[in-house]
Amino acid sequence: MIRLLAKLFIKNCDNYEDNGVRTKYGVLTGIVGIALNFLLFGGKLIAGIITSSVSISADAFNNLSDAGSAVISIAGYKIAAMPADREHPFGHGRAEYAAGLIVATAIVFMAFEIGKESVQKIITPEEPTFSVISIVILSVSILVKLYIFAYNHRYGRLLDSAPMKAVAVDSLSDCISTGSAIAALVVFMIWNVNIDGYIGLFISLIILRSGVNAARESLRPLLGEKADDKLAADIKEELKKYDNILGIHDLAVHNYGVNKNLITLHAEVPAELSFIEAHDLVDAIEHDLGSRYSAVVTIHMDPVQMDNEETLGYKELIGSILGTINPEAQIHDFRIIEHSGKRKISFDVEVPFGTETPDDEIRQRLADGIAKFDSTAETVVCIDKKIY
DSSP per-residue codes, 165-213: HHHHHHHHHHHHHHHHHHHHHHHHHHH----HHHHHHHHHHHHHHHHHH
pLDDT, residue 130, reads: 65
Per the prediction, the chain carries an average pLDDT of: 84
CATH 1.20.1510.10 fits 2-223, yes or no: yes
Proportion of the chain above pLDDT 90, given as a percent: 16
Predicted confidence band of residue 143 (pLDDT cuts 50, 70, 90): very high
Residues 24/9, Cβ–Cβ less than 8 Å: yes
Classify strands 342-352 and 330-339 as parallel, antiparallel or unpaired. antiparallel
Domain ranges of the chain: 2-223, 229-304, 309-386
51-60, 209-218, 221-230, 273-282: least confident range: 51-60
Instruction: Decide if pLDDT at 77 tops 70.
Output: yes
Strongest mean pLDDT among 55-59, 99-103, 180-184, 312-316: 312-316
Predicted confidence band of residue 6 (pLDDT cuts 50, 70, 90): confident
pLDDT, residue 206, reads: 80
Strand partners, 335: 346
What's the CATH code, domain 309-386?
A: 3.30.70.1350
Instruction: Decide if pLDDT at 55 tops 70.
Output: no
What's the CATH code, domain 229-304?
A: 3.30.70.1350
| Cα distance between residue 282 and residue 274, in whole Å | 12
Give the CA distances from residue 121 to residues 30, 126, 185, 191, 198, in Å, rounded to whole numbers and listed in that order: 34, 7, 15, 19, 8
Q: If you ran DSSP here, which 8-state letter would residue 307 be given?
A: S
Distance of CA 144 to the CA centre of its chain: 28
Average pLDDT for 83-100: 81
pLDDT in tens, 33-50: 899 999 988 888 888 888
Predicted confidence band of residue 17 (pLDDT cuts 50, 70, 90): confident
Residue with the bigger pLDDT between 81 and 300: it is 300
pLDDT, residue 35, reads: 92
pLDDT in tens, 345-381: 899 999 988 888 999 999 999 999 888 878 888 899 9
pLDDT, residue 249, reads: 85
pLDDT in tens, 235-286: 888 998 898 998 888 888 888 876 678 899 999 998 889 999 999 999 999 9
Proportion of the chain above pLDDT 70, given as a percent: 98
Residues for the chain: how many in total? Answer: 388
Average pLDDT for 308-326: 87
The pTM assigned to this predicted structure is: 0.66
- Say if residue 233 is exposed, middle or buried (CB neighbours under 10 Å; 0-12, 13-18, 19+): exposed
pLDDT, residue 281, reads: 94
Instruction: Decide if pLDDT at 289 tops 80.
Output: yes
Residues 365/325, Cβ–Cβ less than 8 Å: yes
Give the CA distances from residue 175 to residues 139, 142, 181, 377, in Å, rounded to whole numbers and listed in that order: 9, 5, 10, 69
pLDDT, residue 114, reads: 76
Residues 256/88, Cβ–Cβ less than 8 Å: no
Give the CA distances from residue 211 to residues 76, 80, 116, 201, 249, in Å, rounded to whole numbers and listed in that order: 17, 22, 17, 15, 38
3-state secondary structure of 278: helix
229-304 and 309-386: identical CATH topology: yes
Average pLDDT for 328-334: 88
Instruction: Decide if pLDDT at 166 tops 80.
Output: no
pLDDT in tens, 297-307: 999 988 887 77
DSSP per position, 122-159: HHS-------HHHHHHHHHHHHHHHHHHHHHHHHHHHH
Average pLDDT for 214-236: 81
The separation between the first and the last C-alpha atoms of the chain, rounded to the nearest angstrom, is 41
Predicted confidence band of residue 183 (pLDDT cuts 50, 70, 90): confident
| Cα distance between residue 58 and residue 48, in whole Å | 8
